[in-house]
Structure 1
């Protein structure tokens, strides 16, 4: 089956917040844009604006519609790449998808969500119909793992030959310098501060009796309810060792990763977390939960330590073990970085993505999937 015509040379990525305020999706698209040896031009269209500016969202969506329509006229070979998650993101992409279908513009959907099946099943029938139409009208659907593939095929009715698994990737920053004996072990959390990311359990784990009384510090970097959790840090007596700097730009985030030793993400739900990939890429020991596609590639006690969702004692025990056992920390970090280099190379990701977007035949598409 032919997916796109050969004249396609521009990809327009439609995502909430753009590359600056788009969270993990924004970081992924920024990595794509800055990858070397691109064969397509990758442009970004913000569909929402900053998360904290509700008034900007309708305006940004209107601008995105304008970009889609004008792109159809000025550059009919362009591919419109709609990055979709649940909730408001789906509503915006339904609008863009309907517009694309009305004017004959081709589009792909790229699903980034921690539990799209549940979000879909909670909606009324009329919304489900619009969502099925959105997915059914896409030339192709990209998902992050096998769970999402099953959702797209079984709940949304997309044929298997129009769905591809393409796991998130990050650029290779090079492995961080090893921690010297006696140095403070630095723990890093990257993500929106909130319950879904497991921040309440993480702060409780930091206060748990199992945690060492000295020798570690932690940084929780991200937006969300920073003031609330800052107050909790203070109330727990953790102010001298736990910092919450808020949202950070990419350069500051990379600097934090380069100085950290442990990446922790005790999420209740993910697709495939960009924070986990940042940890693997920098050579950090990763502590995570078995959510989304994490356990499709990560392996407990080899490339990470898995802890049950919401289990504060288990989380505290895992962090304590890594703080006190430098050999285990280094072994997980080394194996995790080896996994990153073999499975999450940005060069390989871009080659597969661009081959998919420019594929001319079913045989070419099957070669892309098996690469």
Structure 2
């Protein structure tokens, strides 16, 4: 008789975004071999038909496993908005059969999502979270935020793991180059970053801002042109793999002036690459970046403070070196899979799941 399984629900490993990166690291680190895990892809990038087909295929297989009494635990990765409602379909289907349920919240804007929801949707959100046997969040900030939404007290902070890139061979740092990775839009502070670069262009006429990601690229390009810095900004779109690693290693600063943030994978990637971080003090960022140690933090929306912080790091090579080394040290001591995966293993054990490879938990 086959043992009962953990069903992990999440995006395709090729999808764009931090959640896909995290679940792929779980796979690459051997989590699915240590624990009896079946991964069901509930989201793929693409057109509407691709997305419908993906979630339908996952749901049908999920239902078969549930009805076959094969599921002991459901580990669902969620963000906000559509991501949350999509996963609700699976959780509501599972509830009558009573497997253990982990809801793994990756979004730093979940509180905003909740506040923007109407009364009925708020009740559904609370009901869903209340039914979870564990809620995993990424930082202590997110834990406090979720405690204001749900009466469920079984909220556990488990950081995202990161595997440092060891095979990259870079050309060295590009002078006065600022890198942004993420969704291009107001929530991530992209327009504030563009405005800050305008303030710096007189002192640094060769400054370069590289804005990588999907989203409001056309609007951001037009805004840069309006500011008179269009020639100083590059929009290469979404980058991954060797191209992303090259940019991280060659950039002078990684910037993330978000208004809402959980635990951005870009910050972990930058710290691992030895790149100083200039970011907002929003959400879970201060739980990862200590102001003045691995980088500098400013208030969201404060363009003057953002420009000053960027200037301070750009103008001080010794400070950049010190911050870069501190970032690499923190990644090695707190965010490697060997530090993070045992936290998941402990949760699985607490919920009664038996590992496939007991000696490796």
1:261 is aligned, of 252, 258, 262, to 252
Does the alignment pair 1:100 with 2:94? yes
Whole-angstrom CA distance in 2 between matches of 1:324 and 1:156 = 46
How far the C-alpha of 1:56 sits from its partner, in A, is: 3.7
Cα 1:309/1:127, change in 2 over 3 Å? same
Is 1:64 matched with 2:64?
Answer: no
Residue aligning to 2:24? 30
Cα distance change of structure 1 residues 176 and 281 upon mapping to structure 2, 3 Å threshold = farther
| TM-score of the two chains, using structure 2 as the length reference | 0.87
2:77–2:105 contact (8 Å) kept in structure 1: yes
CA shift, 1:31, in A, is 1.3
| Corresponding residue number in structure 2 for 1:136 | 130
Establish whether residue 341 from structure 1 lines up as the match of residue 335 from structure 2. no
1:216 has 2:216 as partner = no
The offset of 1:210, in angstroms, is 6.5
User: Does the aligned pair in 2 maintain the 1:28–1:168 contact within 8 Å?
Assistant: yes
Is contact 1:80–1:108 with CA below 8 Å preserved after alignment? yes
Choose which of 107, 121, 138 in structure 2 pairs with 1:127: 121
- State the Cα RMSD in Å: 2.8
Q: Structure 2 vs 1, CA of residues 21 and 261 (structure 1 numbering), >3 Å: closer, same or farther? A: same
* Pairs within 5 Å for 1:179-258: 179=172, 184-209=175-200, 212-258=203-249
Instruction: Tell me the residue number matched to 1:299.
Output: 290
Match of 1:170 in 2: 162
Residue 192 of structure 1 deviates from its aligned partner by 0.6
- Kindly tell me: are residues 325 and 133 of structure 1, through their superposed partners in 2, closer, same or farther at Cα, counting changes over 3 Å? same
SS at 1:60 equivalent: helix
Q: Is the contact between residue 111 and residue 142 of structure 1 (CA under 8 Å) also seen in structure 2? A: yes
The number of aligned residues is: 351
Q: Secondary structure at the match of 1:155?
A: coil
Residue aligned with 2:187, SS: coil
Q: State the partner residue of 1:369.
A: none
* Preserved CA contact (<8 Å) 1:176 1:282: no
Runs of 4+ in 1 over 6 A off after TM superposition: 175-178
- Confirm or deny that 1:14 pairs with 2:16: no
Distance 1:296 1:69, change over 3 A: same
Q: What do the CA deviations read for 1:3-38 (whole angstroms, capped 9, x no partner)?
A: xxx955x5443224x222241111111111111575
After superposition, residues 268-287 of structure 1 pair within 5 angstroms as 268-287=259-278
TM-score by length of 1: 0.85
Structure 2: unaligned runs, 5 residues or longer? 353-361
Report 1:347-362 matches (<5 A).
Answer: 347-359=338-350
Q: Distance in 2 between matches of 1:308 and 1:277?
A: 20
Other structure's SS at 2:34 match = coil
Which whole-Å deviations, capped at 9, do the CAs of 1:232-253 have from their partners, x for residues lacking one?
A: 3344443443211111233321
- Residue aligned with 2:199, SS: coil
2:140 — aligned with what? 146
- Provide Cα deviations, 1:272-321, integer angstroms capped at 9, x if missing partner: 11111111111100001111122124211112100111111211121122
Q: CA deviation at 1:215?
A: 4.6
Q: For 1:93 and 1:166, how far apart are their aligned partners in 2?
A: 20
Preserved CA contact (<8 Å) 1:322 1:328: yes
Q: For 2:126 and 2:62, how far apart are their aligned partners in 1? A: 21
The answer to which of 37-46 and 98-107 deviates more is 37-46
